[in-house]
Structure 1
Amino acid sequence: MHLVLIVAAAAYGAVAGLLVPRPRYRLAVAPEEPWRYRCPQGHPLTGPAGGWLGPARCPACPVERRRFSVRAAPVAVALAVFCGGLAAATGARPELAVWLLLAPFGALLAGVDRAVSRLPDVLTLPMAAGAVSLLGVITLLPRGAGSWTRALLGGAVLGGGYLLLFVISPTGIGFGDVKLAPTLGVALGWYGWDVLFLGAFAGPLLGAVHGGWLVLTRRAGRKTALPFGPFMLAGAGAGVVLGALGTA
């Protein structure tokens, strides 16, 4: 049964990953611009859910120009591995459904932040509300391994911490990072304060290692601004997996 759950979660992650590049393209715009309605060649993006679902290919474009976003295969593989890992760590506990629902949106946020160095409100704010609401429902079900009250406090602590960093150094932390922090704090706080601190510090550590590597390889300077959201998400993802393992 556990193996079936892992395979099903991995398959879900792969399918979700195939759908990420299209909304990534549509949301990867400057803060003052609306999301994209057309492909790079000017053709309207139509289809399910108002053109948000489907492959990142435009059927009206010439064959060699149909793909208008990043390749879907690497995203699908990464999400399949992560979702399978979540299932292996969490097992059949009900909070797994919440983590699996949040994972594709985390991948989408990371992709948009890498592309244009912003975390759009249309994703960060609903994710925070969704994480709080869904985990609240989970507390009513049997076999849940976390604490909703601690999750709420975790969201407040991590969100407040990032807000303080933004006030102290607005050039070092973007306000989008502040808006993302409560969601990550809720997810990490569900499993405990030690998991919260682990996931919270893993993000900056990963960012520092990556930035150091770019400087050493001369692909960036010491003052080069790097998107921080992907590292926050990676650190929180690792923390959730370890937290789930610790309650197994």
Structure 2
Amino acid sequence: MVLAPTGTEATVPLVAVLSGLFGLAIGSFLNVVIYRTPRQESLIAPASHCPLCGEPIRARHNIPVLGWLLLHGRCADCGSTISVRYPLVELTTALLFAGLCLRLSALQLLPALPAYAYLAAVGVTLAMIDLDHRRLPNVIILPSYVIIAGLLAGASLWTHDWSALARAGAGGVALFAFYLLLAVIHPAGMGMGDVKLAGILGAILGYLSWAALIIGAFGGFLLGAIVGIAVLAAGRGTRKSALPFGPFMITGAILAIFVGDPLAQLYLRAMGQV
């Protein structure tokens, strides 16, 4: 006999869809943040406009993803090319928001969704800025400590799970200290922006589990090594070529949120521990 889903279970797909739609809107704003923050421009004024001709973008063309498709990837006024990265940022943010909703629901941690959605938004933003400018702006990272701490505390208050909040604090301190040690030992290979980002990722991963923290922390190094080898093999760089590490850290953390615990269980089974 197939049982009908409970009220909470039945609403999860709807919440995931709404989260995805909200993610589309947030992704549109993130494109503004990614472009203007490194240039120290206001995020409020002027309104969205073509960076080449300066003409304002019409409201119907500001619809996430669809606006880019309607314009065929070109400015409606001057015809200049609009990078495909704009709709990709919007779509990626939407998928992350929806996916995090489903994942946290499965873990019975849905009250923590605002914290993880915020991390996804900040992660997409920082990854793009680091790729473009090789830096992680303090104006984004430092306030994120306060915001994520507040959102995780709110989730713990809702669920009465204070051990998760304590684990988040310990995880943030541990990963910050680890990256700081690496920066001291090898300053050329690790920037302080990476160190500051590590504290945020450590907290958000530690809130889930120790397994997620460990896999997320070392996942970034693994991804960096794989891409570095691929760059060398393709002749696109040398051993001295510097790659921005922030995107690898963020990708490793996101992957750990979704598959950290299953990977840990798989490893333990392989070792005969479970």
| TM tier relative to shorter chain | 0.7 to 0.9
Matching of residue 216 in structure 1 with residue 230 in structure 2: no
Q: Per-residue displacement from partner, 1:27-86 (whole Å, max 9, x unpaired)?
A: 235xxxxx146xxxxxxxxxx7344x757654269523485x773111112112222211
**Among residues 172, 177, 195, which one is paired with 2:189 in the alignment?**
172
Q: Aligned pair 1:73/2:87, yes or no?
A: yes
**Residue of structure 2 equivalent to 1:44:** none
Give me the whole-angstrom Cα distance separating, in 2, the residues matched to 1:235 and 1:55: 34
Q: Deviations over 1:64-119 (max 9, x none)?
A: 3485x773111112112222211111117200121112211111111100001000
Match of 1:87 among 95, 101, 122: 101
Q: CA deviation at 1:144?
A: 5.9
Aligned residue identity for 1:21: N
Write the mapping of 1:55-204 to structure 2, written as runs, cut at 5 A. Answer: 58-59=54-55, 63-65=78-80, 71-91=85-105, 93-142=110-159, 147-204=164-221
1:17 aligns with 2:23: no
Change (3 A) 1:56 1:182: farther
Cα distance in 1 between the residues matched to 2:262 and 2:158: 20
Q: For residues 107-140 of structure 1, what are the alpha-carbon distances to aligned partners after superposition, in whole Å with 9 as ceiling and x for unaligned? A: 1111100001000000111112211121112111
Q: What is residue 66 of structure 2 aligned with on the other side?
A: none
| Distance change >3 Å, CA 138–CA 125, structure 1 → 2 | same
Offset, 1:207: 1.0
Q: What's the CA shift for 1:148?
A: 0.3
Higher helix share: 2
1:49 aligns with 2:59: no
Query: Under a length normalisation based on structure 1, what TM-score does the superposition of the two structures give?
Result: 0.83
Q: C-alpha offsets along residues 148-188 of structure 1, whole Å, 9 cap, x if unaligned?
A: 00100000000000000000000000110001111000000
CA distance, structure 1, for counterparts of residue 188 and residue 232 of structure 2: 19
> Which one has the largest radius of gyration?
2
Task: Specify every segment of 5 or more residues in structure 2 that has no aligned partner in the other structure, as ranges.
Answer: 1-10, 57-74, 264-274
CA contact (8 A) 2:118 2:148 kept: no
Q: For residue 124 of structure 1, what is the amino acid of its counterpart?
A: I
The whole-number CA distance in structure 1 between the counterparts of 2:16 and 2:134 is 33
Change (3 A) 1:17 1:240: same
Aligned residues: 229
Write the distance in 1 (CA, Å) between the matches of 2:136 and 2:117: 20
Structure 1 residues 128 and 192: alpha-carbon distance in aligned structure 2, compared to 1, 3 A threshold: same
Q: Distance in 1 between matches of 2:14 and 2:49?
A: 27
TM-score, with structure 2 as normaliser: 0.76
Q: Give the CA deviation at 1:241.
A: 2.4
CA RMSD of aligned residues (A): 2.5
The C-alpha deviation readout for 1:172-228, integer Å capped at 9, x for no partner, is: 001100011110000000012111001001111111111111111111211100000
The CA distance in 2 between the partners of 1:134 and 1:208, in whole Å, is: 33
